[in-house]
Amino acid sequence: MAEQEALSKKDEFFGHGVVGDPYPSLMELAGKCPVHPGTISSNFGMIGAEDILFPDVDQVIVLSFDSVEAGFKDVENLSSCWYEPSLGAMIGRTIIEMDPPEHGRHRQLIQGALTKKEMERWEDDFVRGIVDTSIDDFIASGRAELVADFALRYPLRVIAAACGLPEADVDLFYGWAALLTNVSVSAEERLAAAADFGAYLQSVIDERRVTPGSDLVSHLVRAEFRDQSGHQALNDDEIVAFLRLLLPAAAQTTYRTLCNLLFGLLTHPDQLAALSADHGLIAQAIEEGLRWEPPLMSFGRMAVADTEIDGVAIPAGTPVNLIVGAANHDPGRWDDADKFDIFRPPQPHLAFGSGAHVCLGIHFARMELRVAMEQLLNRLPGLRLAPDAGDISISGLGQRSPGTLPVVFDSPNEEKGHR
């Protein structure tokens, strides 16, 4: 199918099946200096998005926790306009490429749709139900492939429900998302996907302006506030752009995070058993999964003034790659940083970014991951890797996740936690 082909192309571009464990090499570089010339992809003999977007331009990678965090917080010298060439023309202008004060105004209009209270409503109204119907499709067989059978489409089914969009259109969203966020695909293909996606979303917005409901699109249509500059609201183009950004983000980052967490637990059965016995450990397991294998290896910034990071001069016009994967493995911050350990002392990580641009959907992602883990553990007792699983692993560079997670489980306990 076209959607699966688009996803496979994106995985190939981001090094799935090619780059296994990048952390030893990254830590060796970081041990020499936390800031290095070049791009992360070039250090692994690959051509990445940053190489395509900024060819023949000197770039730097930032690797240590403190330096990456400082890069996120330096909004005066390091601009999010880095994302304009990759996403601006395809998705539209969104908060991901805005700097203060523009970023703050747009964030204020949008963040009311993604509060903790709203996430509680979503959980009760449809998220838990989506998890359960997904599990229903394979539970009777006593085995599943948790990437294809569960994790791949679960997050996008959730965001489609949140937006009041038909579940039958989820495959369309996946195809558009994979094309829009893959700079190795031709501009013609990406622009065609952007146009089709935009027309689809505009029809939804038109309908919500006439008959609004309680869904996310209706919230965006109604969102407004007043500040010193007067009345603030989102126009149709801004809503289309935000939704074109949100759907790919929901499709990719939560799915990969869930797969990485499941891989960590399934390959550490003692920790999985502890989690099964005590669901109170789920929150810390999610944070360890995010730290250990974040779904996005890096974030981009553009130096708009001469500056420095950790004493290294960064001239204006330099693309800066903040490598959160390396920062989250900084041995100066975590003991045995390469080890997956849900019992390690809690310590903030950078998987969601930091500073003004910290992930807008942070409550959304944590809720989705928690509900998925609760129901998988409740309904699939004895969950474990299938005996014939073979040599499964996490791979990739720009984005990382396992390609497959074959599991088996005991006779399902349908009385525990299924509602």
Written as one string, the DSSP assignment of 219-235 is: HHHH-EEEETTEEEE--
CATH class, range 2-408:
mainly alpha
| Token reading at 221 | 């249509």
How far apart CA 182 and CA 44 sit, in angstroms, is 19
What is each CA distance from 381 to 144, 305, 375, in whole angstroms? 13, 56, 10
How far apart CA 20 and CA 338 sit, in angstroms, is 13
User: What predicted TM-score, i.e. pTM, was given to this entire model?
Assistant: 0.92
Strand 384-385 and strand 406-408: the pairing is antiparallel
Handedness of CA 291, 130, 248, 108 (dihedral sign): negative
Handedness of CA 291, 96, 70, 359 (dihedral sign): negative
What is the DSSP annotation of 29-76?
HHHH-SEEES-TTGGGT---HHHHHSTTS--EEE-SHHHHHHHHH-TT
Beta-bridged to residue 313, according to DSSP, are: 308
The residue behind tokens 């849900």 is 342
**Which pLDDT value is given to residue 310?**
92
**Which pLDDT value is given to residue 111?**
83
**Which pLDDT value is given to residue 246?**
85
8 A C-beta contact, residue 237 and residue 130? no
Q: Which residues contact 239 (CB under 8 A, 6 or more apart)?
A: 201, 205, 217, 220, 221
Q: From 343, 415, 58, 10, select the one nearest 189 (Cα to Cα).
A: 10
How far apart CA 136 and CA 151 sit, in angstroms, is 14
Residue 302, helix vs strand vs coil: strand
**Which pLDDT value is given to residue 9?**
63
Tell me 48's DSSP state.
-
Q: From 152, 145, 153, 149, select the one nearest 408 (Cα to Cα).
A: 145
Tell me 303's DSSP state.
E
The residue extents of the domains of the chain are: 2-408
Checking phi first, is residue 211 left (phi over 0); if not, alpha (psi -120 to 50) or beta?
beta
| Token reading at 386 | 């299938």
Length of the chain, please? 419
Render pLDDT for 237-266 as a digit per residue (tens, 0 to 9): 999 999 988 877 777 889 999 999 999 999
Residue 12, helix vs strand vs coil: helix
8 A C-beta contact, residue 392 and residue 405? yes
Averaged pLDDT, groups of 10, the chain, 419 residues long: 58 75 94 94 88 92 97 96 85 89 84 88 96 96 96 91 90 81 82 91 96 93 74 87 83 91 98 97 98 94 96 96 97 96 96 91 94 97 95 92 96 51
Q: What are phi and psi of 35, to 5 degrees?
A: -130, 125
Please, what is the end-to-end C-alpha distance for the chain in angstroms?
34
